[in-house]
Structure 1
């Protein structure tokens, strides 16, 4: 009898970005990696970014509060949007992090219930929903 349980498939928690660095900066990063300070270039870059974000934490918090944004992961299900439509309400999405619109949300439902979308981070939605909401995405 096994105590291993199958978990549901996990959505990636990272977004790939591309940056351009000068050769000297890249060489200095490689030197630190070779000396064992970091496991690889990505480890160095993630650490540097986290340190900068930590140093600006108060400013980030104040800005999120000022703009009344949600921080983290925010899912919008079909049921959520159908409830909004039934109540005659329009949603204004404001997320710092990841906003996900469920795959079973139709473009028509999204258009009827989502007024604007501002996402600082990433927006995951079907291609059809993104196309329908293109003029509402800031």
Structure 2
């Protein structure tokens, strides 16, 4: 008799980036295009990412101090229905503070979110169903 091992549960893949839109003056855009054409950067996105990383590095110490002062979780934080059920059983409410990506899983109902989440502060992106975002609208900062 041959025993088959069950396949591991697959998790939805989280996006690695958030799309943003910026407006640049024609001269600035032309200078970026010239640097790309001269081979300094592979494309406009490469230039913009490099510029942003350089600014984040330049202000790194200030960012660390603010993250600590505001008690922000740095990176990714995900909340499932099971996580929030545990919070409800404990009779507590969460104050979510994230610098990065906060995800409230699709299995979380608006009612469960309202019962267990006191406030949400996200510097970056919040991924949640439209219904959960609407339910928490007055708690988003």
Aligned residue number for residue 3 of structure 1: none
| 1:11 to partner: Cα distance | 2.3
Question: How far, CA to CA, are the matches of 1:8 and 1:100 in structure 2?
Answer: 13
For residue 121 of structure 1, give the secondary structure of its aligned residue in structure 2. strand
Aligned residue number for residue 75 of structure 2: 72
Aligned residue number for residue 135 of structure 1: 138
Q: How many residues align?
A: 132
Aligned residue number for residue 21 of structure 2: 18
Gaps of 5+ in 2: 1-9
Question: How far, CA to CA, are the matches of 1:92 and 1:10 in structure 2?
Answer: 25
Aligned residue number for residue 87 of structure 1: 90
Question: How far, CA to CA, are the matches of 1:11 and 1:68 in structure 2?
Answer: 24
For residue 37 of structure 1, give the secondary structure of its aligned residue in structure 2. coil
For residue 59 of structure 1, give the secondary structure of its aligned residue in structure 2. helix
1:28 and 2:27 matched: no
| 1:9 to partner: Cα distance | 5.4
TM-score, normalising length: structure 1: 0.93
TM-score, normalising length: structure 2: 0.91
Aligned residue number for residue 55 of structure 1: 58
Question: How far, CA to CA, are the matches of 2:24 and 2:130 in structure 1?
Answer: 32
Two-structure CA RMSD over aligned residues (Å): 1.1
Do the aligned partners of residues 107 and 8 (structure 1) sit closer, same or farther apart at CA in structure 2, a change above 3 Å counting? closer
Runs of 4+ in 1 over 2 A off after TM superposition: 7-11
Note the 1:99-138 alignment, pairs <5 A. Answer: 99-138=102-141
Question: How far, CA to CA, are the matches of 1:13 and 1:81 in structure 2?
Answer: 25
